[in-house]
Structure 1
Amino acid sequence: MKLSLAIVALALAVPSNGFAQDSTAVSSDREYPNTFSSGSANISPFTNKSKRFNDWAISFGAGVPLVQSADLTSIKNGNGKDLFGYSAYVSIDKAITHAFGINLQYDRGETRQGWFNTKKDAPANASANQQIGARTQYDAISLIGDINLSNLLRRVDNNSPYRWALHGYAGLGTLAYRAYQKDETGDRMVTEVKPFKLGSMFAQAGAGIKFKVNRRIDLEGRVMYAITGDDEFDGGGNKYSAINQQEEQVSDNFFNATLGLSLKLGKHESHLMWHDPLQEIYYKLDVLANKNQEIEVCKKGDLDNDGVCDDWDRQPDTPAGARVDGAGVALDTDLDGVIDLHDQCVTVPGPVENNGCPTEKTPTSGETVTDSSTTLEGIEFDLNSDRILPSNTPILNNAVSYINSSSGTYTVVGATDTRGSEAYNIKLSQRRANNVKDYLIQNGVQSDKLNAVGKGEKNLKHPECNPATKCPEWKNKANRRVYFEAK
């Protein structure tokens, strides 16, 4: 027999091995997370690296073919003796899912059929009595679908070792063969069919039982039934010959019983065809059910008893009785720097000295500046910021009116709280003073009446606040201010 089919099968099979997966890691690359992902660092594109199971295998085996439906058969002919041939196969197997795969398979073998074994002498007058012996040497390449019936049908049973599996097979291919006929006159070839011709197509289907020896090797017994679609495969000669007229069927079919091994490829512990998703789910549920995990809430306690755990409390020293938000910060409804607990006018802004209530004094003797007062209350700033707050503009506008009506000059003094380095606080307070000075000049104050100085942490409104003492936020905010000094 020519080896053309074997060479073709090998050429198709070898490159496929290069794509066997070889990684267990599920990881993200530098492109993740991005705007197309959920932001999780565990997201990765679906590649070979994200697979958990081996899904390639090489299978090979040998067996016995028996012609069953033909004019010359292998089973119970003439003298009642069965005639056994031989066969072998090799295949490249790819698992698509846990229940379905595709195999590229090459078969080679010889069937023996008729009235006697062609390895022996023919009886006398064999041709006259149509007691013909025949043999057929064949090569086949086929693409076969593999269904794991056990994964589809078996019940969930965590106590089962799951080492047996029932598989179903069906596929199409091309069949090449040489059929020989023998009688008392000798042995001769009566039919030859080349591969990859229209008339060489055939189908086969069957079932197999697999046993998992270990993570690398499976043992399988398989029975396949091949439908040739050809009335000359059995060696009866031309389809119109006397032998081929003995039976009405026009397709010579045969069984092929084989025993083989599968070698599973890849670096993972398990092969996809031996994985049962339902089994895995039930196993994980059992693990979770048996896992007793204590969850400790509020590990650090609640030191200020404000109802917010210190684990996420942004103001762990809230005064007793103060209402707080979800982060544990004391509420200041009117944002005047006085928390609601101490604010006697909760919804109306007012200075800290007046317990959060507005004063009734005139602009020339109260909120702004007098010759006898060196402070301008209410000009406060956010942490690490020199931006003038919108709530400060009414007070600054009053200051414009007063300074313009006054004959004196004034120093705009910037101040900070005690957080941050001294050098940083000096610079920050200078920027605050400069911004207030610029605002006053832009709104009509003569520039020669003003001077801006940053004093940092000096002259605090709440001097008890220092780097060694943790002050509540409302006191720190009161220290972050700008005030005036009359010269």
Structure 2
Amino acid sequence: MKLSLAIVALALAVPTVGFAQDLKDTTSSDQYPNTFSSGSANVSPFTQKSKRFNDWSISAGVGVPLMQSADLTSIKNGNGKNLFGYSAFVSIDKAITHAFGINLQYDRGETRQGWFNTKDAAPADLSLVGARTQYDAISLLGDINFSNLLRRVDNKSTNRWAIHGYAGVGTLAYRAYQKDANGQRLMTEVKPFKFGSMFAQAGAGLKFKVNRRIDLETRVMYVYTGDDEFDGGGAQYSAINQREEQTSDNFINATVGMSLKLGKHESHLMWHDPLQELYYKIDVLANKNQDIEVCKKGDADNDGVCDDWDRQLDTPAGARVDGAGVALDTDLDGVIDLYDKCVTVPGPVENQGCPLTTTAPPATGPVVVNEMNLEGIEFDLNSDRILPNNTPILNNAVNYINSSNGSYTVIGATDTRASEEYNQKLSERRANSVKNYLISNGVNASKLNAVGRGKKDLKYPECDPATKCPEWKNRANRRVYFEAK
């Protein structure tokens, strides 16, 4: 039986490792397509620095084990009465995908079974036997997140509950004691990492996400020992072990515990919404030539951006636009590049975007700027990470701010999803993320102040919590912009 369990575990592990390796972006120095990229030309290296989520955690918990299938049980309607033991576990958890992980778990506990607690005095009747088993176990468990695997993603709801399934094998060491009117004695002792010490366990748990760091969980596991002597009945063919036909003493372990998620990122992979990967790649896909027509509503201004998500439906003919259909203004002077005669140098509208020329001596002091508005600094859902397409705007802002003698307020905002308290903190993080980027690239910290306005400052006010807005409007509301003081 133990050998069969080992074979099954090996058979499950091989495809799991192969599946896990295919989940990450790979790179090759050879020309693509190649066997590692599934024929894709959009291949990027996957490193610890490029991750956008945490995938390690530590879990611990305590519980009550009940001997259920044995010649001596912890349950009154079996070969014994209601007797409660104790257990504890600690595990190191690694998430492979948003729906699958592997846990290395250590269990320690004591089951109590029979007709009386071995801490109490034994009755005179020799047929009434009590037993207890102290055990230590190390196991490797597969963790399936059924909620992520099966759930229908609803972007307006907060994902706080998850159902997990566990199964795995390991090594079990124990000492089984038996007590009757003649006293207590050690009946069986099994050392760990022996061929006969293998066991299996499987079960389910319900997790609740308290915050980005802590999860609470209640779990029920069924432990299959494969050993007829685990319950303290003695040798395999003893009088006690012949009371029932089963040859495996099994128990149920009900626990409550907590998981501490490790890492610097905002979200953990097991709580990660896979659809957010789609939103993250919109900027890349928007600039690609499409072989098929995807615009159901057409492209009224013929700027290459479908009206479904075009934020500027009257773009002048010939103007270059960003992924949202807004005409580009590289130097942020209010004159779009199409009409700007000095694309990289800011200048007034009346001079076609070029600096005014004058015969007066050139100014030696800083440029005076009374107001400045930066648009287009947007964020993914539930994230304060600066997207790659924001860096050109921010780099221009560095030069713009350094050339002025004014100071600026960096304002963060969110969409209407989630609570007001959560959105307020998220908007503050977004504003500080942009502020820190500017400072790290040379802006004087005294010129900047960061504030968050949560969901009180919407670019599209019609997107209230009761209104279902298109995703591009929600994305536009998740932004940071500047105001001159």
TM-score between both structures, scaled by the size of structure 2: 0.51
Measured in 2, the distance between the counterparts of 1:97 and 1:75 equals: 39
Q: CA deviation at 1:154?
A: 1.3
SS of the residue 1:50 aligns to: coil
* TM superposition shift of 1:159: 2.6
1:152-301 equivalences in 2 (<5 Å): 152-278=149-275, 281=278, 292-294=311-313, 296-298=315-317
Q: Tell me the equivalent position of 2:140.
A: 143
How far is 1:276 from its partner? 2.4
Aligned in 2, Cα 1:289/1:89: closer, same or farther, shift over 3 Å?
A: farther
Structure 1 residue 74: deviation in Å?
A: 0.3
**C-alpha spacing 1:156/1:279, structure 2 compared with 1 (3 Å):** farther
- Whether the aligned pair in 1 keeps the contact of 2:91 and 2:103 (CA below 8 Å) is yes
TM-fit CA distance, 1:155: 1.8
Indicate yes or no: 2:49 matched with 1:49.
yes
Q: What residue is the counterpart of 1:432 in the other structure?
A: none
| Secondary structure of residue in 2 paired with 1:104 | strand
TM-superposition CA deviations, 1:89-144 (whole Å, max 9, x none): 0000000000000000000000000010111111112x2xx210000000000000
Q: What is residue 131 of structure 1 aligned with on the other side?
A: 128
Taking the aligned partners of 1:295 and 1:157, their CA distance within structure 2 comes to: 32
Q: Which moved more, 1:88-97 or 1:157-166?
A: 157-166
Equivalences for residues 395-434 of structure 1 within 5 A: none
Q: Does 1:84 align with 2:105?
A: no
Structure 2 gaps of 5+ residues are 1-26, 283-306, 321-336, 340-485
CA deviations over 1:281-307 (Å, ceiling 9, x no partner): 58999xx96772346334689xxxxxx
Specify whether residues 227 and 32 from structure 1 end up closer, same or farther in structure 2 by C-alpha distance, changes over 3 A only: closer
SS of alignment partner, residue 76 of structure 1: coil
**Alignment-derived partner of residue 359 in structure 1:** none
Q: Distance in 2 between matches of 1:245 and 1:36?
A: 66
Distance in 2, matches of 1:240 and 1:33, equals: 65
- 2:455 alignment partner in structure 1: none
Q: Cα offset for 1:32? A: 12
Contact 2:73 2:81 in 1 (8 A): no
- Distance in 2 of aligned mates of 1:240 and 1:291: 79
- In the alignment, the residues of structure 2 paired with residue 95 and residue 251 of structure 1 have an alpha-carbon distance, to the nearest angstrom, of 32
What residue identity is the alignment partner of 2:158? P
Q: Which has the larger radius of gyration?
A: 1
Query: How far apart are residue 311 of structure 1 and its match?
Result: 5.3
How far, CA to CA, are the matches of 1:265 and 1:183 in structure 2? 49
Helix, strand or coil for the counterpart of 2:159?
coil
Q: Which amino acid aligns with 1:228?
A: T
The amino acid of 1:190's aligned partner reads M
Q: Which amino acid aligns with 2:66?
A: L
How big is the shift at 1:170?
0.3
Q: Tell me which stretches of 4 or more aligned residues in structure 1 moved more than 3 Å.
A: 31-38, 77-81, 278-285, 288-291, 297-301
Give the 3-state SS of the residue equivalent to 2:147 in structure 1. helix
Change (3 A) 1:186 1:295: farther
Match of 1:96 in 2: 96
Query: Residue 254 and residue 295 in structure 1: after superposition, are their counterparts in 2 closer, same or farther (change >3 A)?
Result: farther
What is the CA-CA distance between 1:158 and the residue it aligns to?
2.2
Deviations along 1:49-79, whole A, 9 cap, x unmatched?
1211100000000000000000000000689
- Give distance in 2, aligned partners of 1:206 and 1:104: 15
Q: What does 1:319-468 correspond to in 2, within 5 Å?
A: none
Contact 1:44 1:50 in 2 (8 A): no
Q: In the aligned structure 2, how far is the partner of 1:277 from the partner of 1:300?
A: 34
Structure 1 residues 291 and 151, CA gap change in structure 2 (3 angstroms): farther
Residue 156 of structure 1 contacts residue 279 of structure 1 at CA under 8 Å; is this kept in 2? no
CA separation in 1, counterparts of 2:78 and 2:50? 61
The residue number in structure 1 matching 2:374 is: none
Change (3 A) 1:90 1:34: same
Q: What's the CA shift for 1:156?
A: 2.4
Q: Report whether the alignment pairs 1:63 with 2:63.
A: yes
**Inter-partner Cα distance in structure 2 for 1:162 and 1:283:** 19
**Residue type at the aligned position of 1:103:** N
Question: In 2, Cα distance between the equivalents of 1:150 and 1:300?
Answer: 46
Q: Write the distance in 1 (CA, Å) between the matches of 2:272 and 2:236.
A: 49
Q: Distance in 1 between matches of 2:61 and 2:319?
A: 68
Shift of 1:275: 1.1
> Kindly tell me: are residues 228 and 299 of structure 1, through their superposed partners in 2, closer, same or farther at Cα, counting changes over 3 Å?
same
Distance change >3 Å, CA 298–CA 258, structure 1 → 2: same
- 2:111 maps to 111
Q: By how many angstroms is 1:260 displaced?
A: 0.3
Shift of the alpha carbon at 1:33? 11
- Please state whether the residue corresponding to 2:49 is helix, strand or coil: helix
CA RMSD of aligned residues (A): 3.5
Q: Distance in 1 between matches of 2:247 and 2:31?
A: 64
Instruction: Report how far residue 223 of structure 1 moved.
Output: 0.2
Other-structure match for 1:75: 75
Q: Secondary structure at the match of 1:171?
A: strand
CA contact (8 A) 2:96 2:102 kept: yes
CA displacement at 1:270 relative to structure 2 = 0.2
Instruction: Rate the CA distance shift 1:105–1:120 in 2: closer, same or farther, 3 A.
Output: same
Q: Using structure 1 for the length normalisation, give the TM-score.
A: 0.51
Call closer, same or farther: CA 1:202–1:214 in 2, change over 3 Å: same
**C-alpha contact 1:65 1:256 (8 A) present in aligned 2:** yes
CA separation of 1:138 and 1:152: change in aligned 2, threshold 3 A: same
> Does structure 1 conserve the Cα–Cα contact (< 8 Å) formed by 2:73 and 2:79?
no
2:383 equivalent in structure 1: none
CA contact (8 A) 1:62 1:259 kept: yes
